[in-house]
Structure 1
Amino acid sequence: MLWCPDKTKNLATAVKEIHKAKQRGAQLVALPECYKYEHNIDWEEVPSGEACRALSEAAAEAGVCVVGGTLPERDGSALYNTCTVWDSDGSLLARHRKMHLYDIDIPNKVTHRESELVSAGDQITTFVFNGVKIGLGICFDICFPEMVELMAQDGCSLLIFPSDFHMVTGSRYWEALGRTRAFENQLWVALVGPARDPDTEYKSWGHSMLVDPWGTIKAELDENVGTILEDIDFNVVEEVRKQWPVRAQRRTDVYNTVRKSS
Protein backbone atom coordinates (compact mmCIF):
# COMPACT_ATOMS: atom_id res chain seq x y z
CA MET A 1 0.00 0.00 0.00
CA LEU A 2 1.33 3.45 -0.89
CA TRP A 3 1.81 6.13 1.75
CA CYS A 4 2.04 9.91 1.48
CA PRO A 5 2.21 12.76 4.02
CA ASP A 6 -1.49 13.58 3.44
CA LYS A 7 -3.54 11.60 5.98
CA THR A 8 -6.80 12.24 4.10
CA LYS A 9 -5.38 10.64 0.98
CA ASN A 10 -4.02 7.73 2.97
CA LEU A 11 -7.40 7.03 4.51
CA ALA A 12 -9.04 7.22 1.09
CA THR A 13 -6.45 4.77 -0.26
CA ALA A 14 -7.09 2.37 2.62
CA VAL A 15 -10.85 2.46 2.06
CA LYS A 16 -10.36 1.92 -1.67
CA GLU A 17 -8.11 -1.09 -1.05
CA ILE A 18 -10.65 -2.58 1.38
CA HIS A 19 -13.36 -2.46 -1.28
CA LYS A 20 -11.00 -3.82 -3.96
CA ALA A 21 -10.11 -6.76 -1.72
CA LYS A 22 -13.79 -7.48 -1.11
CA GLN A 23 -14.43 -7.47 -4.87
CA ARG A 24 -11.69 -10.10 -5.19
CA GLY A 25 -13.38 -12.31 -2.60
CA ALA A 26 -11.69 -11.31 0.66
CA GLN A 27 -13.51 -11.82 3.96
CA LEU A 28 -10.80 -10.30 6.15
CA VAL A 29 -8.55 -7.39 5.13
CA ALA A 30 -5.39 -6.38 7.03
CA LEU A 31 -3.78 -2.95 6.58
CA PRO A 32 -0.13 -1.98 7.25
CA GLU A 33 1.33 -0.47 10.40
CA CYS A 34 1.08 3.34 10.42
CA TYR A 35 -0.73 3.32 7.04
CA LYS A 36 -2.53 6.54 7.90
CA TYR A 37 0.40 8.79 8.76
CA GLU A 38 3.50 8.78 10.92
CA HIS A 39 2.57 7.81 14.47
CA ASN A 40 4.13 10.89 16.08
CA ILE A 41 1.37 13.27 14.96
CA ASP A 42 -2.42 13.61 14.86
CA TRP A 43 -3.35 11.41 17.81
CA GLU A 44 -6.97 10.28 17.94
CA GLU A 45 -9.33 8.55 20.32
CA VAL A 46 -10.70 5.05 19.74
CA PRO A 47 -13.38 4.51 18.49
CA SER A 48 -14.41 8.10 17.78
CA GLY A 49 -11.41 9.28 15.75
CA GLU A 50 -11.25 10.03 12.04
CA ALA A 51 -9.49 6.83 11.00
CA CYS A 52 -11.73 4.72 13.22
CA ARG A 53 -14.87 6.15 11.66
CA ALA A 54 -13.50 5.61 8.15
CA LEU A 55 -12.54 1.98 8.83
CA SER A 56 -15.84 1.24 10.57
CA GLU A 57 -17.80 2.57 7.61
CA ALA A 58 -15.61 0.75 5.07
CA ALA A 59 -15.94 -2.57 6.93
CA ALA A 60 -19.73 -2.23 7.07
CA GLU A 61 -20.08 -1.09 3.45
CA ALA A 62 -17.84 -3.86 2.12
CA GLY A 63 -19.08 -6.49 4.56
CA VAL A 64 -15.58 -7.58 5.58
CA CYS A 65 -13.56 -7.74 8.78
CA VAL A 66 -10.88 -5.03 8.76
CA VAL A 67 -7.67 -5.30 10.78
CA GLY A 68 -6.84 -1.63 10.69
CA GLY A 69 -3.04 -1.63 10.69
CA THR A 70 -2.04 0.79 13.45
CA LEU A 71 -2.96 4.32 14.37
CA PRO A 72 -1.71 6.84 16.96
CA GLU A 73 -4.17 6.54 19.86
CA ARG A 74 -4.67 9.04 22.66
CA ASP A 75 -6.40 7.87 25.84
CA GLY A 76 -6.41 10.71 28.34
CA SER A 77 -2.76 11.65 28.82
CA ALA A 78 -1.45 8.29 27.52
CA LEU A 79 -0.42 7.65 23.92
CA TYR A 80 -0.33 4.25 22.22
CA ASN A 81 0.51 2.58 18.93
CA THR A 82 -2.81 0.78 18.42
CA CYS A 83 -4.36 -1.74 16.05
CA THR A 84 -8.16 -1.70 15.78
CA VAL A 85 -10.30 -4.49 14.33
CA TRP A 86 -13.70 -3.80 12.79
CA ASP A 87 -16.36 -6.46 12.30
CA SER A 88 -18.25 -6.79 9.01
CA ASP A 89 -21.09 -4.76 10.54
CA GLY A 90 -18.74 -1.89 11.39
CA SER A 91 -18.58 -2.54 15.14
CA LEU A 92 -15.29 -2.45 17.03
CA LEU A 93 -14.24 -6.07 17.46
CA ALA A 94 -10.85 -5.66 19.14
CA ARG A 95 -8.15 -3.15 20.05
CA HIS A 96 -4.50 -4.05 20.59
CA ARG A 97 -2.00 -1.61 22.06
CA LYS A 98 1.56 -2.53 21.16
CA MET A 99 3.06 -4.27 24.19
CA HIS A 100 6.76 -4.34 23.33
CA LEU A 101 8.18 -0.96 22.36
CA TYR A 102 11.03 -0.82 19.89
CA ASP A 103 14.03 0.66 21.71
CA ILE A 104 17.22 -0.21 19.86
CA ASP A 105 20.70 1.16 19.26
CA ILE A 106 22.88 -0.45 16.61
CA PRO A 107 26.03 1.71 16.34
CA ASN A 108 26.40 3.50 13.00
CA LYS A 109 23.20 1.88 11.69
CA VAL A 110 20.00 2.70 13.55
CA THR A 111 18.86 4.21 16.84
CA HIS A 112 15.19 4.25 17.79
CA ARG A 113 13.38 4.96 21.06
CA GLU A 114 9.68 4.21 20.68
CA SER A 115 9.24 4.40 24.45
CA GLU A 116 10.01 8.13 24.31
CA LEU A 117 6.84 8.61 22.27
CA VAL A 118 4.24 6.05 23.35
CA SER A 119 3.24 3.90 26.31
CA ALA A 120 3.21 0.10 26.26
CA GLY A 121 -0.01 -1.88 26.22
CA ASP A 122 -0.52 -4.64 28.78
CA GLN A 123 -3.09 -6.97 27.22
CA ILE A 124 -2.92 -10.09 25.06
CA THR A 125 -5.47 -9.47 22.31
CA THR A 126 -7.58 -12.06 20.50
CA PHE A 127 -10.89 -11.94 18.68
CA VAL A 128 -13.23 -14.30 16.83
CA PHE A 129 -14.35 -13.80 13.23
CA ASN A 130 -16.36 -16.37 11.26
CA GLY A 131 -15.76 -18.90 14.02
CA VAL A 132 -11.96 -18.54 13.89
CA LYS A 133 -9.99 -17.20 16.85
CA ILE A 134 -7.32 -14.73 15.72
CA GLY A 135 -4.48 -13.16 17.71
CA LEU A 136 -3.06 -9.67 17.24
CA GLY A 137 0.41 -8.24 17.69
CA ILE A 138 2.25 -5.21 16.37
CA CYS A 139 5.74 -5.37 14.86
CA PHE A 140 8.24 -5.93 17.72
CA ASP A 141 5.64 -8.01 19.60
CA ILE A 142 6.49 -10.94 17.32
CA CYS A 143 9.98 -11.12 18.82
CA PHE A 144 8.59 -12.37 22.14
CA PRO A 145 7.64 -16.08 22.01
CA GLU A 146 5.80 -16.04 25.34
CA MET A 147 3.20 -13.62 23.98
CA VAL A 148 2.62 -15.76 20.91
CA GLU A 149 2.44 -18.95 23.00
CA LEU A 150 -0.30 -17.42 25.16
CA MET A 151 -2.34 -16.59 22.05
CA ALA A 152 -1.88 -20.17 20.87
CA GLN A 153 -3.01 -21.43 24.29
CA ASP A 154 -6.12 -19.27 23.90
CA GLY A 155 -7.01 -21.29 20.81
CA CYS A 156 -5.83 -18.99 18.02
CA SER A 157 -5.43 -20.50 14.57
CA LEU A 158 -4.16 -17.30 12.92
CA LEU A 159 -1.93 -14.47 14.14
CA ILE A 160 -1.72 -11.09 12.39
CA PHE A 161 1.19 -8.68 12.86
CA PRO A 162 1.07 -5.27 11.15
CA SER A 163 4.78 -4.41 11.15
CA ASP A 164 7.32 -1.81 10.13
CA PHE A 165 10.80 -3.29 10.52
CA HIS A 166 13.91 -1.24 9.80
CA MET A 167 15.97 -2.34 6.81
CA VAL A 168 18.83 -3.39 9.10
CA THR A 169 16.72 -5.67 11.29
CA GLY A 170 14.00 -6.63 8.84
CA SER A 171 16.28 -8.31 6.35
CA ARG A 172 17.62 -10.57 9.11
CA TYR A 173 14.60 -11.29 11.28
CA TRP A 174 11.38 -10.81 9.29
CA GLU A 175 11.15 -14.18 7.57
CA ALA A 176 12.87 -16.10 10.37
CA LEU A 177 10.46 -14.81 13.01
CA GLY A 178 7.34 -15.34 10.89
CA ARG A 179 8.24 -18.92 10.02
CA THR A 180 9.43 -19.77 13.54
CA ARG A 181 6.32 -18.45 15.28
CA ALA A 182 4.08 -20.31 12.84
CA PHE A 183 5.94 -23.61 13.17
CA GLU A 184 6.54 -23.65 16.92
CA ASN A 185 2.92 -22.72 17.69
CA GLN A 186 1.38 -24.70 14.81
CA LEU A 187 -0.81 -21.94 13.40
CA TRP A 188 -1.00 -19.47 10.52
CA VAL A 189 0.95 -16.21 10.72
CA ALA A 190 0.37 -13.12 8.58
CA LEU A 191 3.05 -10.42 8.54
CA VAL A 192 1.65 -7.20 7.09
CA GLY A 193 4.50 -5.05 5.84
CA PRO A 194 4.59 -1.24 6.03
CA ALA A 195 3.00 1.22 3.67
CA ARG A 196 5.61 2.99 1.56
CA ASP A 197 6.15 6.40 0.01
CA PRO A 198 7.27 6.03 -3.64
CA ASP A 199 8.64 9.58 -3.67
CA THR A 200 11.17 9.07 -0.89
CA GLU A 201 13.97 6.63 -0.19
CA TYR A 202 12.44 3.35 0.96
CA LYS A 203 13.86 2.63 4.42
CA SER A 204 11.45 0.05 5.85
CA TRP A 205 11.45 -3.68 5.24
CA GLY A 206 8.44 -4.80 3.25
CA HIS A 207 7.72 -8.33 2.10
CA SER A 208 4.27 -8.97 3.55
CA MET A 209 3.87 -12.72 3.85
CA LEU A 210 1.53 -15.50 4.88
CA VAL A 211 3.07 -18.54 6.60
CA ASP A 212 1.30 -21.85 7.21
CA PRO A 213 1.55 -24.02 10.37
CA TRP A 214 4.39 -26.04 8.81
CA GLY A 215 6.44 -22.83 8.59
CA THR A 216 6.08 -22.70 4.80
CA ILE A 217 5.68 -19.31 3.12
CA LYS A 218 2.47 -19.54 1.12
CA ALA A 219 2.56 -16.01 -0.31
CA GLU A 220 4.95 -13.05 -0.22
CA LEU A 221 5.13 -9.56 -1.67
CA ASP A 222 8.27 -8.02 -3.12
CA GLU A 223 8.88 -4.85 -1.06
CA ASN A 224 5.17 -4.63 -0.33
CA VAL A 225 4.11 -3.89 -3.88
CA GLY A 226 0.57 -5.18 -4.42
CA THR A 227 -1.82 -7.20 -2.26
CA ILE A 228 -1.74 -10.77 -1.00
CA LEU A 229 -5.05 -12.56 -1.53
CA GLU A 230 -5.00 -16.14 -0.25
CA ASP A 231 -7.45 -18.74 1.02
CA ILE A 232 -6.48 -20.04 4.47
CA ASP A 233 -7.20 -23.70 5.15
CA PHE A 234 -7.61 -23.99 8.90
CA ASN A 235 -7.80 -27.79 8.62
CA VAL A 236 -4.02 -27.64 8.25
CA VAL A 237 -3.76 -26.45 11.86
CA GLU A 238 -5.24 -29.69 13.21
CA GLU A 239 -3.34 -31.73 10.65
CA VAL A 240 -0.01 -30.36 11.88
CA ARG A 241 -0.94 -30.71 15.54
CA LYS A 242 -1.86 -34.37 15.07
CA GLN A 243 1.27 -35.22 13.09
CA TRP A 244 3.60 -33.25 15.35
CA PRO A 245 1.98 -33.49 18.83
CA VAL A 246 4.30 -31.18 20.75
CA ARG A 247 1.40 -29.28 22.29
CA ALA A 248 -0.07 -32.42 23.82
CA GLN A 249 3.31 -33.57 25.12
CA ARG A 250 4.49 -30.36 26.80
CA ARG A 251 5.90 -30.99 30.29
CA THR A 252 3.58 -28.64 32.16
CA ASP A 253 4.66 -30.38 35.38
CA VAL A 254 8.11 -28.89 34.82
CA TYR A 255 7.47 -25.64 32.92
CA ASN A 256 4.62 -23.52 31.62
CA THR A 257 3.89 -20.08 30.26
CA VAL A 258 1.32 -18.44 32.52
CA ARG A 259 -0.59 -15.23 31.86
CA LYS A 260 -0.55 -12.67 34.63
CA SER A 261 -3.67 -10.63 35.25
CA SER A 262 -3.29 -6.96 34.36
Structure 2
Amino acid sequence: MTESPRFTAACVQLQGTRSVDRNLEAVVALVAEAARQGADYVQTPEQTGIMELDRRKLFESITDEAGDRVLARLRAQARELGIWLHVGSLAIRLSDTQAANRAFMIAPSGEIAARYDKIHMFDVDLPNGETYRESRTYRPGTTAVVADLPWARVGLTVCYDIRFPYLYRALAKAGATVLTAPAAFTKTTGEAHWHVFQRARAIENGAFVITAAQGGLHENGRSTYGHSMIVSPWGEILAEAGTEPEVIVAEIDMASVGEARQRVPSLTHDRSFQPPVVEAERRAS
Protein backbone atom coordinates (compact mmCIF):
# COMPACT_ATOMS: atom_id res chain seq x y z
CA MET A 1 0.00 0.00 0.00
CA THR A 2 1.43 3.41 -0.99
CA GLU A 3 2.03 5.77 1.90
CA SER A 4 -0.04 8.96 1.70
CA PRO A 5 1.95 12.12 1.01
CA ARG A 6 3.01 14.30 3.90
CA PHE A 7 4.48 17.78 3.86
CA THR A 8 5.12 20.64 6.25
CA ALA A 9 3.08 23.80 5.71
CA ALA A 10 3.79 27.23 7.16
CA CYS A 11 1.88 30.49 7.35
CA VAL A 12 3.75 33.78 7.58
CA GLN A 13 1.76 36.38 9.49
CA LEU A 14 2.61 40.01 8.74
CA GLN A 15 1.74 43.47 10.03
CA GLY A 16 1.98 45.26 6.70
CA THR A 17 2.97 48.90 6.36
CA ARG A 18 2.74 51.56 3.67
CA SER A 19 6.39 50.89 2.75
CA VAL A 20 7.06 48.21 0.15
CA ASP A 21 10.70 48.04 1.25
CA ARG A 22 9.85 47.44 4.92
CA ASN A 23 7.23 44.84 4.01
CA LEU A 24 9.65 43.05 1.73
CA GLU A 25 12.32 42.96 4.43
CA ALA A 26 9.83 41.52 6.93
CA VAL A 27 8.37 38.86 4.66
CA VAL A 28 11.76 37.65 3.40
CA ALA A 29 12.95 37.18 7.00
CA LEU A 30 9.84 35.27 8.03
CA VAL A 31 9.81 33.07 4.92
CA ALA A 32 13.42 32.17 5.68
CA GLU A 33 12.41 31.33 9.25
CA ALA A 34 9.60 29.08 7.97
CA ALA A 35 12.10 27.23 5.78
CA ARG A 36 14.44 26.84 8.76
CA GLN A 37 11.56 25.19 10.60
CA GLY A 38 11.28 22.64 7.80
CA ALA A 39 8.41 24.06 5.74
CA ASP A 40 8.01 22.66 2.23
CA TYR A 41 5.13 25.05 1.45
CA VAL A 42 4.98 28.61 2.80
CA GLN A 43 2.06 31.00 2.44
CA THR A 44 2.05 34.78 2.97
CA PRO A 45 -1.04 36.97 3.55
CA GLU A 46 -3.20 39.08 1.30
CA GLN A 47 -1.47 42.35 0.31
CA THR A 48 1.99 41.08 1.16
CA GLY A 49 3.61 44.02 -0.66
CA ILE A 50 1.76 47.02 0.73
CA MET A 51 -1.11 47.95 3.06
CA GLU A 52 -2.38 51.25 1.69
CA LEU A 53 -5.96 52.56 1.80
CA ASP A 54 -5.22 55.85 0.00
CA ARG A 55 -5.90 55.09 -3.64
CA ARG A 56 -3.54 57.74 -5.03
CA LYS A 57 -0.65 56.63 -2.85
CA LEU A 58 -1.32 52.99 -3.69
CA PHE A 59 -1.01 53.62 -7.42
CA GLU A 60 2.16 55.61 -6.86
CA SER A 61 3.68 52.55 -5.15
CA ILE A 62 2.61 49.60 -7.32
CA THR A 63 3.68 48.38 -10.75
CA ASP A 64 2.69 45.80 -13.30
CA GLU A 65 3.63 42.18 -12.67
CA ALA A 66 6.89 42.37 -14.61
CA GLY A 67 8.11 45.29 -12.52
CA ASP A 68 6.96 44.15 -9.08
CA ARG A 69 10.07 43.84 -6.94
CA VAL A 70 8.32 41.92 -4.15
CA LEU A 71 7.32 39.22 -6.62
CA ALA A 72 10.82 39.15 -8.12
CA ARG A 73 12.50 38.80 -4.72
CA LEU A 74 10.11 36.11 -3.52
CA ARG A 75 10.59 34.14 -6.74
CA ALA A 76 14.32 34.25 -6.11
CA GLN A 77 13.83 33.24 -2.49
CA ALA A 78 11.67 30.25 -3.41
CA ARG A 79 14.48 29.12 -5.70
CA GLU A 80 17.17 29.73 -3.05
CA LEU A 81 15.26 27.79 -0.39
CA GLY A 82 13.81 25.10 -2.66
CA ILE A 83 10.25 25.63 -1.38
CA TRP A 84 6.79 26.18 -2.78
CA LEU A 85 6.02 29.81 -1.92
CA HIS A 86 2.42 30.95 -2.09
CA VAL A 87 2.26 34.74 -2.16
CA GLY A 88 -1.19 35.41 -0.69
CA SER A 89 -1.67 38.43 -2.91
CA LEU A 90 0.00 41.51 -4.33
CA ALA A 91 -1.56 44.68 -5.71
CA ILE A 92 -0.67 44.45 -9.40
CA ARG A 93 -1.18 47.55 -11.55
CA LEU A 94 -3.35 46.90 -14.63
CA SER A 95 -3.85 50.52 -15.71
CA ASP A 96 -3.76 54.03 -14.26
CA THR A 97 -7.06 53.36 -12.48
CA GLN A 98 -7.28 49.60 -11.92
CA ALA A 99 -5.28 46.93 -10.14
CA ALA A 100 -5.60 43.20 -9.58
CA ASN A 101 -5.52 41.65 -6.11
CA ARG A 102 -3.45 38.72 -7.36
CA ALA A 103 -2.15 35.57 -5.66
CA PHE A 104 0.90 33.71 -6.95
CA MET A 105 1.98 30.11 -6.47
CA ILE A 106 5.75 29.98 -6.97
CA ALA A 107 7.49 26.66 -7.59
CA PRO A 108 10.89 25.74 -6.10
CA SER A 109 12.38 26.61 -9.49
CA GLY A 110 11.24 30.20 -9.01
CA GLU A 111 8.73 29.89 -11.84
CA ILE A 112 5.15 31.05 -11.35
CA ALA A 113 3.03 27.87 -11.32
CA ALA A 114 -0.36 29.61 -10.94
CA ARG A 115 -1.99 33.03 -10.62
CA TYR A 116 -5.37 33.88 -9.13
CA ASP A 117 -7.18 37.23 -9.12
CA LYS A 118 -9.52 37.73 -6.16
CA ILE A 119 -13.09 37.25 -7.36
CA HIS A 120 -15.26 38.73 -4.60
CA MET A 121 -14.81 42.41 -3.77
CA PHE A 122 -15.07 43.65 -0.18
CA ASP A 123 -17.54 46.54 -0.57
CA VAL A 124 -19.01 47.03 2.90
CA ASP A 125 -19.99 49.55 5.56
CA LEU A 126 -19.30 48.11 9.00
CA PRO A 127 -21.27 49.12 12.13
CA ASN A 128 -18.14 50.66 13.70
CA GLY A 129 -17.90 53.18 10.85
CA GLU A 130 -15.26 51.39 8.74
CA THR A 131 -16.00 51.55 5.02
CA TYR A 132 -14.31 49.56 2.25
CA ARG A 133 -14.84 49.74 -1.53
CA GLU A 134 -12.41 47.29 -3.12
CA SER A 135 -14.23 47.46 -6.44
CA ARG A 136 -13.15 51.12 -6.83
CA THR A 137 -9.55 49.97 -7.08
CA TYR A 138 -9.47 46.30 -8.03
CA ARG A 139 -10.81 44.49 -11.05
CA PRO A 140 -12.52 41.28 -9.90
CA GLY A 141 -11.20 37.99 -11.16
CA THR A 142 -13.48 35.71 -13.14
CA THR A 143 -11.82 32.29 -12.91
CA ALA A 144 -11.37 29.79 -10.09
CA VAL A 145 -7.84 28.35 -9.94
CA VAL A 146 -6.21 25.19 -8.64
CA ALA A 147 -2.49 24.40 -8.60
CA ASP A 148 -0.88 20.97 -8.46
CA LEU A 149 1.86 20.60 -5.86
CA PRO A 150 3.75 17.34 -5.30
CA TRP A 151 1.52 16.40 -2.38
CA ALA A 152 -1.86 17.96 -3.12
CA ARG A 153 -4.04 19.96 -5.46
CA VAL A 154 -4.41 23.41 -3.92
CA GLY A 155 -7.39 25.74 -4.41
CA LEU A 156 -6.49 29.44 -4.47
CA THR A 157 -8.75 32.13 -3.03
CA VAL A 158 -8.23 35.44 -1.20
CA CYS A 159 -9.80 36.81 2.01
CA TYR A 160 -13.43 37.91 1.34
CA ASP A 161 -13.84 34.89 -0.94
CA ILE A 162 -14.14 32.82 2.26
CA ARG A 163 -17.75 34.02 2.64
CA PHE A 164 -18.82 32.34 -0.61
CA PRO A 165 -18.92 28.56 0.02
CA TYR A 166 -19.88 27.67 -3.55
CA LEU A 167 -16.40 28.74 -4.68
CA TYR A 168 -14.76 26.23 -2.33
CA ARG A 169 -17.21 23.52 -3.35
CA ALA A 170 -16.23 24.10 -6.97
CA LEU A 171 -12.54 23.89 -6.06
CA ALA A 172 -13.10 20.66 -4.12
CA LYS A 173 -15.10 19.23 -7.03
CA ALA A 174 -12.13 20.10 -9.24
CA GLY A 175 -9.94 17.91 -7.04
CA ALA A 176 -8.60 20.39 -4.50
CA THR A 177 -7.61 18.72 -1.23
CA VAL A 178 -6.06 21.86 0.26
CA LEU A 179 -8.01 25.15 0.24
CA THR A 180 -6.39 28.52 0.92
CA ALA A 181 -7.69 31.98 1.80
CA PRO A 182 -4.78 34.35 2.59
CA ALA A 183 -6.36 37.37 4.19
CA ALA A 184 -6.32 40.85 5.68
CA PHE A 185 -9.54 40.34 7.65
CA THR A 186 -10.75 43.31 9.66
CA LYS A 187 -10.58 42.97 13.45
CA THR A 188 -14.35 43.51 13.69
CA THR A 189 -15.38 40.78 11.26
CA GLY A 190 -12.56 38.50 12.33
CA GLU A 191 -13.66 38.44 15.95
CA ALA A 192 -17.16 37.49 14.83
CA HIS A 193 -16.58 35.05 11.98
CA TRP A 194 -12.95 34.06 11.33
CA HIS A 195 -12.72 30.74 13.14
CA VAL A 196 -16.14 29.64 11.94
CA PHE A 197 -15.28 30.29 8.29
CA GLN A 198 -11.92 28.50 8.38
CA ARG A 199 -13.34 25.40 10.07
CA ALA A 200 -16.57 25.39 8.03
CA ARG A 201 -14.82 25.47 4.66
CA ALA A 202 -12.60 22.58 5.82
CA ILE A 203 -15.48 20.48 7.18
CA GLU A 204 -17.83 21.10 4.24
CA ASN A 205 -15.27 19.93 1.72
CA GLY A 206 -13.18 17.43 3.69
CA ALA A 207 -10.06 19.47 2.90
CA PHE A 208 -7.22 21.20 4.71
CA VAL A 209 -7.64 24.97 4.95
CA ILE A 210 -4.44 27.00 5.19
CA THR A 211 -4.72 30.75 5.69
CA ALA A 212 -1.96 33.28 6.35
CA ALA A 213 -3.20 36.64 7.59
CA GLN A 214 -2.30 40.22 8.29
CA GLY A 215 -2.56 41.08 11.99
CA GLY A 216 -2.47 44.02 14.38
CA LEU A 217 -2.71 47.78 14.03
CA HIS A 218 -1.27 49.00 10.73
CA GLU A 219 0.20 52.45 10.12
CA ASN A 220 -2.69 53.24 7.76
CA GLY A 221 -4.97 53.09 10.84
CA ARG A 222 -6.57 49.78 9.95
CA SER A 223 -6.67 46.88 12.44
CA THR A 224 -6.60 43.34 11.07
CA TYR A 225 -7.46 40.20 12.98
CA GLY A 226 -4.42 37.99 12.48
CA HIS A 227 -4.92 34.40 13.72
CA SER A 228 -3.32 32.74 10.70
CA MET A 229 -4.58 29.19 10.79
CA ILE A 230 -4.06 25.64 9.54
CA VAL A 231 -7.18 23.47 9.84
CA SER A 232 -7.59 19.74 9.22
CA PRO A 233 -10.33 18.20 7.02
CA TRP A 234 -12.17 17.25 10.23
CA GLY A 235 -12.17 20.86 11.39
CA GLU A 236 -9.37 20.59 13.94
CA ILE A 237 -7.12 23.63 14.32
CA LEU A 238 -3.59 22.28 13.85
CA ALA A 239 -1.80 25.62 14.26
CA GLU A 240 -2.90 29.18 15.00
CA ALA A 241 -1.10 32.52 15.33
CA GLY A 242 -1.92 35.43 17.59
CA THR A 243 -2.05 38.99 16.29
CA GLU A 244 1.66 39.83 15.87
CA PRO A 245 4.05 38.89 13.02
CA GLU A 246 5.14 35.25 13.34
CA VAL A 247 5.40 31.88 11.63
CA ILE A 248 3.14 28.91 12.33
CA VAL A 249 3.91 25.41 11.08
CA ALA A 250 2.02 22.11 10.89
CA GLU A 251 2.60 18.71 9.34
CA ILE A 252 0.01 17.91 6.70
CA ASP A 253 -0.92 14.24 6.31
CA MET A 254 -2.92 13.96 3.12
CA ALA A 255 -4.41 10.64 4.31
CA SER A 256 -6.67 12.80 6.50
CA VAL A 257 -8.52 14.02 3.42
CA GLY A 258 -9.55 10.53 2.32
CA GLU A 259 -10.51 9.60 5.87
CA ALA A 260 -12.72 12.66 6.33
CA ARG A 261 -14.38 12.26 2.95
CA GLN A 262 -15.05 8.60 3.65
CA ARG A 263 -16.57 9.31 7.06
CA VAL A 264 -18.87 12.01 5.65
CA PRO A 265 -19.00 11.62 1.84
CA SER A 266 -20.97 14.82 1.24
CA LEU A 267 -18.97 15.68 -1.89
CA THR A 268 -20.64 12.70 -3.57
CA HIS A 269 -24.12 13.63 -2.32
CA ASP A 270 -24.61 17.00 -4.07
CA ARG A 271 -27.89 17.10 -5.98
CA SER A 272 -29.24 19.63 -8.45
CA PHE A 273 -32.49 21.37 -7.57
CA GLN A 274 -34.81 24.07 -8.80
CA PRO A 275 -34.50 27.58 -7.35
CA PRO A 276 -36.85 28.26 -4.43
CA VAL A 277 -40.39 29.43 -5.13
CA VAL A 278 -42.36 31.54 -2.66
CA GLU A 279 -45.22 29.31 -1.54
CA ALA A 280 -47.85 32.08 -1.75
CA GLU A 281 -46.89 32.79 -5.36
CA ARG A 282 -47.12 29.11 -6.21
CA ARG A 283 -50.66 28.87 -4.76
CA ALA A 284 -51.72 32.00 -6.63
CA SER A 285 -50.60 30.54 -9.96
- Whether TM exceeds 0.5 here: the answer is yes
Which amino acid is the alignment partner of residue 174 of structure 2? D
Following TM superposition, by how much is the alpha carbon of 1:118 offset from its aligned partner in structure 2, in angstroms?
A: 1.1
Residue 105 of structure 1 pairs with residue 105 of structure 2: no
Quote the residue 2:23 is aligned against. Answer: 10
Residue 64 of structure 1 pairs with residue 83 of structure 2: yes
Equivalences for residues 15-164 of structure 1 within 5 A: 15-39=28-52, 40=55, 41=58, 42-76=61-95, 78-164=98-184
Number of positions where the alignment pairs a residue of Structure 1 with one of Structure 2: 255
Secondary structure of 1:130 counterpart: coil
Query: CA separation in 2, counterparts of 1:200 and 1:112?
Result: 13
Gaps of 5+ in 2: 1-13, 276-285
Give CA-to-partner distance per residue, 1:32-82, whole Å, 9 cap, x none.
111221254122222442111111100000100111121111234541111
The answer on whether the counterparts of 2:33 and 2:247 sit within 8 Å (CA) in structure 1 is: no
Q: Relative to total residues, which structure has the larger helix share, 1 or 2?
A: 2
Query: CA separation in 2, counterparts of 1:75 and 1:61?
Result: 29
Which amino acid is the alignment partner of residue 44 of structure 2? L
Secondary structure of 2:142 counterpart: coil
Quote the residue 2:4 is aligned against. Answer: none
Following TM superposition, by how much is the alpha carbon of 1:94 offset from its aligned partner in structure 2, in angstroms?
A: 1.0
Following TM superposition, by how much is the alpha carbon of 1:22 offset from its aligned partner in structure 2, in angstroms?
A: 1.2
Secondary structure of 2:91 counterpart: strand
Query: CA separation in 2, counterparts of 1:210 and 1:53?
Result: 27
The answer to which structure, 1 or 2, has the higher relative contact order (CA under 8 A, 6+ apart) is 2
Query: CA separation in 1, counterparts of 2:128 and 2:88?
Result: 30
**Percent identity of the aligned residues?**
28
Following TM superposition, by how much is the alpha carbon of 1:177 offset from its aligned partner in structure 2, in angstroms?
A: 0.6
Secondary structure of 2:50 counterpart: coil
Gaps of 5+ in 1: 257-262
Backbone CA RMSD of aligned residues: 2.1
